[in-house]
């Protein structure tokens, strides 16, 4: 049986919503199987009977009750008893890239501990990625201008409304090594949108021997802990390898933004 997803979405209520195109009717008792890559752990959900003449079907699966852990989950349809090794299981293909920045931004407005995302793999199959989620300042743009480091983005998983409300905030840079040092500046937060800038001269002056790594965070009134600056709400994974910003020089000292293996932003001085 050939199964192709024409539309895939994880709704705001963490429901996996799929539109399937199939070349034969789904049998009674057909199961949607989610298999975790690496561990082989599986979770199965029995689907309803869509009808003998159906050539497409809509599927909605609530993900939270399945107790799925972080990682990548491949998706299959399974028919019959599941005991036949000759093949009752079909991996689900997809023509939906599963990416809409507006949809991802709306999803990130709510407070969450886990974030679910349906997407199409490089080989054209449907998969589900589950990530741990907590309040974060999601970076959308970084640049140097007139001797300043500037950054813009959105607050994710904070529960803040996307409105015109202003929140008192500040951007802080803290050294990741050596003696405790910090450089701070006021930031603008309107609803869930933020903009912040600080002087690179202040960063250079606070950097021992003009070489070090700085970790930015956004401190916002109404939130208990500072928000790390990262970039996860998009379709680019592994930014440490794939995203490279041009550097600048301040009094001859090179400064460049970079990402960690966890897609968190850093400011590198010297080197």
In a shared domain, residues 60 and 157: no
| pTM metric for this prediction | 0.84
- Degrees (nearest 5) of the Cα angle 206, 208, 210? 90
Give the pLDDT of residue 87: 46
Q: How many domains does the chain have?
A: 2
d(CA 124, CA 117): 16
Q: Tokens 């991996």 map to which residue?
A: 91
Of 132, 156, 171, the residue that ends a domain is: 132
d(CA 243, CA 221): 31
The CA distances from residue 125 to 58, 94, 96, 235, in Å, are 17, 5, 9, 16
Length of the chain: 271
In a shared domain, residues 77 and 199: no
List average pLDDT for each run of 10 residues in the chain, which is 271 residues long. Answer: 89 95 80 95 83 69 96 92 61 87 91 94 94 94 94 96 96 82 94 96 89 94 94 80 86 92 92 74
Domain range enclosing 226: 136-269
In a shared domain, residues 145 and 237: yes
d(CA 52, CA 197): 61
In a shared domain, residues 11 and 101: yes
Give the pLDDT of residue 209: 84
In a shared domain, residues 163 and 265: yes
Joined together, the tokens standing for residue 193 give 């949108």
In a shared domain, residues 155 and 200: yes
Q: Residue 13 is part of a domain; what is its CATH number?
A: 2.60.40
In a shared domain, residues 96 and 163: no
In a shared domain, residues 178 and 213: yes
In a shared domain, residues 68 and 106: yes
| Structural element, H or E, at residue 226 | none
Of 115, 132, 149, the residue that ends a domain is: 132
In a shared domain, residues 141 and 85: no
β pairing state of 182-190 and 166-175: antiparallel
In a shared domain, residues 7 and 124: yes
Of 132, 151, 166, the residue that ends a domain is: 132
């Amino acid at each position: 049986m050939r199964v192709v997803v024409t539309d895939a979405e994880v709704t705001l209520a963490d429901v996996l919503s799929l539109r399937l195109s199939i070349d034969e009717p789904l049998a009674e008792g057909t199961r949607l199987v989610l298999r975790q890559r690496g561990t082989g752990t599986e979770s199965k959900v029995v689907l309803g009977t869509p009808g003998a003449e159906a050539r497409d079907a809509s599927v909605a699966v609530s993900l939270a009750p399945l107790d799925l852990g972080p990682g990548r989950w491949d998706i299959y349809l399974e028919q019959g008893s599941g005991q036949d090794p000759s093949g009752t299981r079909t991996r689900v293909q997809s023509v939906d890239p599963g990416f809409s920045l507006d949809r991802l931004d709306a999803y990130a407005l709510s407070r969450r501990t886990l974030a679910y995302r349906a997407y199409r793999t490089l080989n054209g199959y449907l998969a589900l990625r589950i990530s741990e989620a907590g309040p974060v300042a999601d970076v959308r743009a970084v640049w140097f201008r007139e001797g300043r480091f500037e950054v813009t983005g959105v607050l994710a998983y904070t529960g803040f409304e996307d409105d015109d409300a202003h929140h008192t905030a500040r951007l802080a840079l803290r050294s990741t090594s050596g003696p405790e040092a910090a450089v701070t500046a006021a930031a603008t937060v309107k609803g869930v949108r933020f903009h912040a800038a600080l002087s690179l001269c202040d960063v250079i002056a606070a950097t021992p021997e003009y070489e070090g790594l700085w970790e930015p965070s956004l401190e916002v009134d109404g939130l208990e802990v500072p928000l790390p600056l990262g970039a996860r709400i998009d379709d680019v994974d592994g930014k440490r390898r794939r995203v490279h910003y041009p550097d600048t020089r301040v009094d001859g000292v090179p400064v460049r933004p970079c990402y960690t293996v966890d897609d968190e932003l850093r400011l590198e001085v010297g080197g």
